[in-house]
Chains A and B, each alone.
Chain A
């Protein structure tokens, strides 16, 4: 969305390596930053989110970091596995709606 920029648009990593996706947002009032994963032909599903009162959150192999000053947040996937192959979307509030990034297609090579 125009409020959220996401990079890169595609990412290919070797199995076992790490993957990092970055997003920037423009609304300084934003205080909630979710990440959704969409496998091929499936629905988007929330995998992790972070609120503006913390700088980092981890859940097993995934972590999200937030820099409110710079208005950017990142998703980190460690020890990537084939099942991590999917499209990942970041999102941030834009007023009363959630604005999604354009998505990153992650391919994990065996």
Chain B
């Protein structure tokens, strides 16, 4: 299946722990994104990479660190997890670097911090 995939789908962890979410796309796209969707459904961009290069870095705590080993993968590592980090995290990809293109979203990772 050609798609954007994420692992894990669900992640339950305690405050203070460190966790990672992985994302892979086999669409041949050049740009990948991380979005956070909070309990009110608000979708907010966190990071974007184009061909492994960071191009968007929103006002996100330093505890969040993205890593793109190649243009098909974009991982998100979160240190010292806090209650407020609980949300659904979506990975997405698009063909080019510009914003005027369809973004293909992954299935999401529901992170619950207790």
User: Among the listed A42, A89, A96, which residue makes an inter-chain contact with B43, where contact means beta carbons less than 8 Å apart?
Assistant: A89
User: Among the listed B41, B45, B55, which residue makes an inter-chain contact with A102, where contact means beta carbons less than 8 Å apart?
Assistant: B41
A43–B43 CB distance below 8 A:
no
Interface positions of A from 17 to 59, Cβ below 8 Å from B: 31-32, 34, 38, 42-46, 49, 51
B48–A97 CB distance below 8 A:
yes
Given A43-B90, A97-B48, A97-B56, answer yes or no on A34-B102 (Cβ-Cβ < 8 Å): yes
Measured between alpha carbons, how far is A103 from B44 in the docked complex, in Å?
12
B48–A44 CB distance below 8 A:
no
Measured between alpha carbons, how far is A31 from B99 in the docked complex, in Å?
10
Expressed in whole angstroms, the minimum distance between the Cβ of A107 and any Cβ of chain B is 14
B103–A46 CB distance below 8 A:
yes
Number of inter-chain CB pairs below 8 Å: 47
B102–A102 CB distance below 8 A:
no
Given A102-B41, A102-B42, answer yes or no on A93-B106 (Cβ-Cβ < 8 Å): no
- A73 interface residue per 8 A CB criterion: no
Contact-residue size bin, chain A (C-beta under 8 Å from the other chain): 20 to 34
User: Among the listed A1, A44, A49, A97, which residue makes an inter-chain contact with B105, where contact means beta carbons less than 8 Å apart?
Assistant: A44
Q: Which residues of A contact B105 (CB under 8 A)?
A: 43-45
Nearest opposing residue in chain B for A95, CB measure = B99
Interface positions of B from 62 to 114, Cβ below 8 Å from A: 90, 99-100, 102-103, 105-108
B99–A93 CB distance below 8 A:
yes
B43–A32 CB distance below 8 A:
no
Q: Which residues of A contact B106 (CB under 8 A)?
A: 43
Q: Which of A44, A46, A89 is packed against the most chain B CB atoms within 10 Å?
A: A44
Expressed in whole angstroms, the minimum distance between the Cβ of A12 and any Cβ of chain B is 17
- A75 interface residue per 8 A CB criterion: no
Q: Would you mind naming 24 contact pairs between A and B with Cβ atoms under 8 Å apart?
A: A1-B44, A31-B100, A32-B100, A34-B102, A45-B105, A46-B102, A51-B100, A87-B41, A93-B100, A96-B56, A96-B99, A97-B48, A97-B56, A97-B58, A98-B45, A98-B99, A99-B45, A100-B42, A100-B43, A100-B44, A102-B40, A103-B42, A103-B43, A105-B41
